[in-house]
Amino acid sequence: MSGKVTLEWHEATSSNILADNLADWVAERLGAALSERGTAFLAVSGGTTPKLFFQALSKRDLDWSKVVVTLIDERFVDHTSPRSNQGLAQANLLQNEASAARFLPLYNGANDPDEGARLAEEALAGAPWPLDVAVLGMGTDGHTASLFPDAPNLDELLDPNGPRKVDAVHAASAGEPRLTLTLPAIVSAHSLVLHIEGDAKRQALEMAMAERDGRRKPIASVVDQARQVEVFWTAG
């Protein structure tokens, strides 16, 4: 994408307030999508940060029966694992009003991550692409989704013209194999959000965006290709 992408910062004084603000923001855009095309497509991230946001969003008044929810990325573990993003979403987001949403997981019980990624892509083929809202997280190493700096296939994952929407990731720093949406699947979203907390992550983001020598961090590569990125942040 040509031109400079501006990071629009939305700051809050606490995690609870940030979660409510982000839930309102996302719900408004999902509601607009429902009005415009009769359906809405949301992708969310896992980790420790989004739990309060999930709980807040689950109570927003939408026609959730017409909303499709998937994951930005997933560890290659069963949904019963405490490390499963699917388990986190089912326990916190797909509750209350949002229990009526249609959920498309990435993990499918395949024998290996590469087969799992192929099956996940097939399962998502009928989803109402592009995403209306994609909510990303970020690590202090500059990874977002499961686009880890040490992933052997990082160039393919970050290829804006790549043919895949879902791919497997085998990165030592990830702890276990992952399944992830690729850069083109993410940046095609109508609304792209980065949800982070703490000074360390804000500094990591600002440093990643300022780097011009050497290889760009994955988060910077995603932002570089995005239409616009809304950053929801609190110091905690």
Give one DSSP letter per residue of 160-209, joined into a string.
TT-S-SEEEE--GGGSS-EEEE-HHHHHTSSEEEEEEESHHHHHHHHHHH
Other Cβ atoms closer than 10 A to 202: 18
pLDDT-derived band at 211, boundaries 50, 70, 90: confident
In-domain check, residue 11: yes
In-domain check, residue 101: yes
Q: What's the pLDDT score for residue 2?
A: 42
In-domain check, residue 139: no
Structural domain that includes position 19: 7-133+145-234
Segment 129-176, tens digit of pLDDT: 999 999 999 999 999 999 999 999 999 999 999 999 999 999 999 999
Segment 65-84, tens digit of pLDDT: 999 999 999 999 999 999 99
Give this prediction's pTM: 0.96
In-domain check, residue 38: yes
The string of DSSP letters for 64-112 reads: GGGEEEEESEEESS-TTSTT-HHHHHHHHTSSGGGGGSEEE-S----SS
In-domain check, residue 1: no
In-domain check, residue 138: no
Provide the CATH number for the domain around residue 117: 3.40.50.1360
In-domain check, residue 2: no
How many domains does the chain divide into? 1
In-domain check, residue 49: yes
